[in-house]
Structure 1
Amino acid sequence: MSTPAPWLLLVAAAHLGFQLTVDLVVYPALAEVGPERWERAHAAHSRRITPVVAVVYVPLVLVLGWAAVAEPRDFATWVAIAGGLLAVVATAAVAAPLHGRLSSGGADERSVLLDRLRRVDRVRTVGAAVCALGAVLLVA
């Protein structure tokens, strides 16, 4: 395993599984939490998800960097990088700040912020799927 391709496939698949779980399970469940339990539920979610995000995103970024250096001429590398960067940038630029606003915001804006969060999460999921597709093409 001296090339990044199998490692990229592994981390891209883990990332896609994580994103699908958040998109289809975690955020819908969080949206169903009532106002009386919201602050506690969102704080618990944030505390629990942060280490998982680190475990998924750090290897993803590292292996994408490795692939860019080791396989720069392969189109599949750039497909994977484009998808991975879409997910990472959407997380850092939009999802994380939205979570911050959800922590401190009032109940009035919560549904609007949750809708935005779910929309950006769909973008992250698409990015993860594109990254995984690039990884599959790179291995093939």
Structure 2
Amino acid sequence: MSAASTPEVVLALVTTAHLGFQATVTVLVYPALARLAGEPQWGRAHEQHSRRIAPLVAVLYPALVLSGAWLVVDGPGAAGWVALLGVAVAIGATAVSAAPTHGRLGREGPTPALVRRLLLADRVRLAGAVVAAAGAGLVVLA
């Protein structure tokens, strides 16, 4: 097996891609969406965001799970477990908070509480993505 196809390297690549994606959402996408809360164009903007981001999520999240599972099978060290914890936090925040909140935003519209909940869940996802990428990077460097 070449060094480029080890579970450590694959996880590092996937977590880095996820971090870039997540940072873009946190810094650019969600603030722009939140500014539309209460505006007439909210519904259309939220629907377009949800539709356009779905393919990226459909690629990145399974890649995080599969590369993480591969690392578990291979036997992660301490930094590997840190990376996996970050992945779990990012995926968990999506499953438990962000995705259901998007559903409610689509059905109920942008109440201040729902927008705050989405932004908080997103910051938790970003923190998880940072931890995952840092841990995976340390695994590769070790």
TM-score of the two chains, using structure 2 as the length reference = 0.92
Do the aligned partners of 2:19 and 2:130 also contact (CA within 8 Å) in 1? yes
Matched residue, 1:11: 14
Identity of aligned residues (%): 53
Aligned partner of 2:33 among 30, 33, 39: 30
2-structure distance, mates of 1:87, 1:10: 16
Task: Quote the Cα distance in structure 1 between the aligned partners of 2:109 and 2:28.
Answer: 24
Give the AA of the match of 1:39. Answer: G
2:7 touches 2:74 (CA, 8 Å); kept in 1?
yes
- 2:133 match: 132
Per-residue CA deviations over 1:105-134 (Å, capped at 9, x if unaligned) read 145xx2211111111111000000000011
1:75 to 1:44, Cα distance in 2 relative to 1, 3 A: same
Alignment match, 2:88: 85
Contact preservation (8 Å) 1:64, 1:81: yes
Task: Report the RMSD for the aligned CA atoms in angstroms.
Answer: 1.1
Q: Distance in 2 between matches of 1:82 and 1:56?
A: 16
- Say which of 73, 84, 88 aligns to 1:69: 73
What does residue 122 of structure 1 align with? 123
SS in 2 for 1:6: helix
> Which amino acid letter does the alignment assign opposite residue 69 of structure 2?
G
Distance in 1 separating the partners of 2:7 and 2:109? 45
Gaps of 5+ in 1: none
Measure, in 2, the Cα distance between the counterparts of 1:87 and 1:46: 18
Instruction: State the TM-score, normalized to the length of structure 1.
Output: 0.93
CA contact (8 A) 1:87 1:127 kept: yes
Instruction: For residue 31 of structure 1, report the CA deviation from its aligned partner.
Output: 0.9
